[in-house]
Structure 1
Amino acid sequence: MTLTLEYVMSKSAKRLEGLLPVVRTATERLIQRSFAAGIPIVITQGLRTITEQNELYAQGRTKPGQVVTNAKGGYSFHNFGVAVDFALLLPDGRSVSWDTSRDGNADRKADWMQVVEIGKALGFEWGGDWKSFKDMPHFEMTFGLSTAQYRAGKRPSQAQIQTAMKRIGEDDEQMDKAKTIVNDKRIADSLLVDGTVYVPLRSVGDALGAAVSWDNKTKTATLTIKSN
């Protein structure tokens, strides 16, 4: 199937809920920038409750499975909406991959590391840089606060958030955008990737007075223009 930016964004929508707004914005930009580089990704983890964290911590300890985290509930940045995990979204639009050597866009560079580069440019710290217990899918934006400070109720200052938003905005300005006009009406900005303009289908449909529907079972988008 042909993956659209709108579809790729929709795959991660639920996992973005509950994130600190500035972290959510950075994560959305991560998805968009990766897509522009020919690398669709999906967010597999976002906000995690304390209960969910404790259940994950029990895996490989008091429950079957491999150890996947060293953090108990309240000791993970996921518990405070400032961390996300990602995976590569495969061409079928359903399967995901954690293959860090995969070169799906055929540019002779590992897709995974290209996503990491984009994430760091946005201000994320990458779990793959940790000296122990490397967490390759993990990004976090902690604003210099510890989990102990988050547990105590401390949150990023407005100045820190503004600085982060400025960095995200500067990155946004570097994206290749295209203006799209439909019936003399400008719709939402599109992305220009390798000479091809990718437009948001729903915005086009609205401009044409058409109905847009999505069949998740067959992964089919349909645009129907009403006759006069």
Structure 2
Amino acid sequence: MLTLTQVQNKSSAKLAGLNPAVHSAAAALIERCYACGIPILITQGLRTAAEQEALYAQGRTKPGAVVTNARGGYSYHNYGLAVDFALLLPDGKNVSWDMLRDGNEDRLTDWEQVVQIAKTLGFEWGGDWSGFRDYPHLQMTFGLALDRLRAGEWPSRAAMATVNDLLKKEDNIIKEEEAIVAVHVNGVKAADGVLDKGITYVPARLLAEAIGAKISYDPKSRTVDITLASEKAKFF
């Protein structure tokens, strides 16, 4: 399983150059999706006007399918105010745009969960547009239409502060959801665990002892080994 740091590192290059508030929100999105068992990859971030023109030409004057209706200067990507995402697959190398995928097996589509988390962070989703729907697209406009951005106007400090305040509020909500929980094995309390963002953390030694297993640690490989007796291994 990929670590959070590994997942974050895969998107770091695409976060470069984003508006600071959008950068913080995108980083929070990666972290909160990971906590739900949904690793994601930011596939697009800041895009120059020339890059936008090349993308616009795809499916028109160049081979490929049409992927955007926006010319250079007519996309929030061109101003560091938008990102695109994809679902990062378990191998850590490939991605999926399958909107029906349920990789964390919670009976909810991963795509829908990512979108809902993004909206709590202040993002607008391209899948809600009435015209051309851009399902991987997330953006923050800060109340600025594209013509104002083309004229050289940028998000105000007050507008960006609103997003940062929202992120802090969401962080506080998550911290309040952390709780100490009792972990039982066959009806008998084995240890106290910490419930954090839907994941329960339990001391490995206490849990191993509760199920009658042997536990050892190899500092060289930084590996914890839990070994069950053969007859118990069949039961568990």
TM normalised by structure 1 equals 0.78
- Please say if 1:168 is aligned against 2:147: no
Matched residue type, 1:163: T
- Please say if 1:9 is aligned against 2:8: yes
- What value does the CA root-mean-square deviation take over the aligned residues? 1.6
Shift of 1:174: 2.5
Contact 1:33–1:175, Cα closer than 8 Å, also in 2: no
Contact 1:57–1:70, Cα closer than 8 Å, also in 2: yes
> Equivalent residue for 1:101?
100
The 3-state SS of whatever aligns with 2:90 is coil
> Equivalent residue for 1:132?
131
> Equivalent residue for 1:151?
150
The 3-state SS of whatever aligns with 2:166 is helix
Matched residue type, 1:81: G
- Matches of 1:175 and 1:46 in 2, distance apart? 26
The 3-state SS of whatever aligns with 1:44 is strand
Q: Which one is further off, 165-174 or 72-81?
A: 165-174
TM normalised by structure 2 equals 0.76
Shift of 1:175: 2.8
- Please say if 1:37 is aligned against 2:36: yes
The 3-state SS of whatever aligns with 1:195 is strand
Alignment length, in residue pairs? 186
> Equivalent residue for 1:28?
27
> Equivalent residue for 2:69?
70
> Equivalent residue for 1:217?
none
Give a deviation string over 1:129-173, Cα, whole Å, max 9, x none. Answer: 001111000000011101111111111111111111101111122
Runs of 4 or more consecutive aligned structure 1 residues displaced over 4 Å after TM superposition: none
Give a deviation string over 1:89-137, Cα, whole Å, max 9, x none. Answer: 0000111000001000000000000000000000000000001111000
Long gaps (5+) in structure 1: 179-190, 198-221, 224-228
Q: Which has the higher contact order (CA 8 A, sep 6+)?
A: 1
- Matches of 1:175 and 1:33 in 2, distance apart? 10
Shift of 1:196: 3.0
- Matches of 2:116 and 2:90 in 1, distance apart? 22
Contact 1:29–1:172, Cα closer than 8 Å, also in 2: no
> Equivalent residue for 1:60?
59
- Matches of 1:175 and 1:97 in 2, distance apart? 28
> Equivalent residue for 2:113?
114
- Matches of 1:118 and 1:76 in 2, distance apart? 23
> Equivalent residue for 2:183?
none
Matched residue type, 1:77: Y
Tell me: CA distance 1:143–1:192, structure 2 relative to 1, closer, same or farther (3 Å).
closer
Long gaps (5+) in structure 2: 179-195, 203-220, 223-236
Contact 1:47–1:80, Cα closer than 8 Å, also in 2: yes
Identity fraction in percent: 57
The structure with more radius of gyration? 2
Contact 2:36–2:197, Cα closer than 8 Å, also in 1: no
- Matches of 2:107 and 2:41 in 1, distance apart? 22
